[in-house]
């Protein structure tokens, strides 16, 4: 393995490890969501005392869970692709197509998403914006912060994926999926 490929693999492995850690943390967010739903069901139907916060808590946690898991999904190759064509290509061709898509589709989208998400978050933060969908009227900025954070996490994982593409273009084989375990 060339030094350039080793360096790209090392960088990619470190990013993948960080993404896995973030993905695991985000995965645990399902527990407070389930607990808040269960509490609401018991409070509403057993005690006849619905909460004022469960609806907001549930949709904020689910939204954060969904958004913040996007970088882990990218790492795990879980996003949509037309595999009926892709699977028949050589690793080099796959990597070239992936690299072009990352550079001309993925990164422009992520950049716009991050900028717009930051603007939504910042406006909510400085105005102390609140959700008006329930009597709880929780502040929106913690939830809206997930937008630019998601963009940042996707950008970082995108660097890892670009590194993998460059290695595959040079060697005509994809780097081992276990790279992160060796770093």
pLDDT digit string (tens) for 3-60?
777 899 999 999 999 999 999 999 998 998 999 999 999 999 999 999 999 888 888 9
Phi, psi torsion values for 41, nearest 5 degrees:
-65, -45
Q: What percent of the chain has pLDDT over 90?
A: 78
CA 95-176-162 angle, to 5 degrees, is 35
Residue 82 pLDDT greater than 90, yes or no: no
Domain containing 164 equals 3-182
Q: Provide the pLDDT for residue 180.
A: 44
> What 3-state class would DSSP assign to 105?
helix
Q: Give the pLDDT mean for 169-182.
A: 73
Token code pair at residue 12: 């990619």
For residues 159 and 115, what is the distance between their CA atoms, to the nearest angstrom?
Answer: 18
Q: Total structural domains in the chain?
A: 1
């Amino acid at each position: 393995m060339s030094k350039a490929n080793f360096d790209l693999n090392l960088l990619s492995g470190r990013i993948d490890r960080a993404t896995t850690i973030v993905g695991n943390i985000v995965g645990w967010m399902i527990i407070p969501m389930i607990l808040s739903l269960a509490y609401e069901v018991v409070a509403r139907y057993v005690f006849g005392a619905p909460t004022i916060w469960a609806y907001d808590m549930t949709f904020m946690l689910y939204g954060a869970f969904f958004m913040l898991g996007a970088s882990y999904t990218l790492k795990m190759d879980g996003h949509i692709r037309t595999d009926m064509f892709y699977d028949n290509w050589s690793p080099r061709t796959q990597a070239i197509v992936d690299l072009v898509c990352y550079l001309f589709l993925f990164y422009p989208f992520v950049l716009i998403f991050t900028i717009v998400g930051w603007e939504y978050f910042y406006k909510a933060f400085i105005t102390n914006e609140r959700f008006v969908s329930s009597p709880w009227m929780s502040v929106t900025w913690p939830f809206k912060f997930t937008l630019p954070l998601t963009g940042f996490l996707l950008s970082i994982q995108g660097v890892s994926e670009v590194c993998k593409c460059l290695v595959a273009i040079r060697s005509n084989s994809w780097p081992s999926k276990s790279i992160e375990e060796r770093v």
